[in-house]
Amino acid sequence: MQRRLKQSAMRFNFDPKMPFEEMCRQAARLGVVGFDHIAPQDWPTLRKFGLTPTMSLNGGITFENGLIHKQVHDSLVKTVGAALDECAANGCPNL
């Protein structure tokens, strides 16, 4: 089946009491391609169900210390570089 839309999900789209593995099972059943903002330690669970880590939270970037703040650029260069390498090695297209 050719899917026109490639929709991702987030944990909060599901019942907070639902185990992550069950979220993945249901997301795959519904045709979701992956999850946003899933930590790298949970990426193997995504792959178990044919899902992709579509956006990583890795790299130490938050809304409070984002790249728009010039004073944190030097400290983020190291963490973001490592996170980009990890994303690339694991098929996560966005950081």
48-84 pLDDT per residue, tens? 999 999 887 666 666 566 667 778 778 777 777 888 8
Structure tokens that stand for 93 in this block: 């297209």
| Alpha-carbon span 65 to 87, nearest angstrom | 20
| pTM score above 0.85 | no
